[in-house]
Amino acid sequence: MLALAIALVVLTASAAVACPTCKDQLAHDPESMNIARGYAYSIVFMLSMPPLIFGSLCAYFYWEVRKARARPAAAA
């Protein structure tokens, strides 16, 4: 089992050649252009998630408050 884990790490090590801050070096290599593009998209997605989640929660609570305020008006 240990040998299988080591073999897996060694075989997939070529895909993890740089961190996102090193992507500029990969951008100059035509063979690594897709990896650099992947880093850029991952940063965009990570930065967009907090506002998306916060905005969705705010919209949900706004909708619930409007529904709660409309209930007494509909009952009367």
Domains in the chain: boundaries: 18-75
Whole-model pTM: value is 0.53
Give the model confidence (pLDDT) of 23-69 as tens digits. 666 667 777 777 778 878 888 899 999 999 999 999 999 999 999 99
pLDDT interval class at 17 (50, 70, 90)? low
26-46 exposure pattern, b = at least 16 Cβ within 10 A, e = fewer: beeeeebeebbeebeeeeeee
Q: Please report the pLDDT score of residue 4 as a whole number.
A: 86
- Output the pLDDT for position 36: 74
pLDDT at residue 38, as a whole number: 81
pLDDT value at position 49?
95
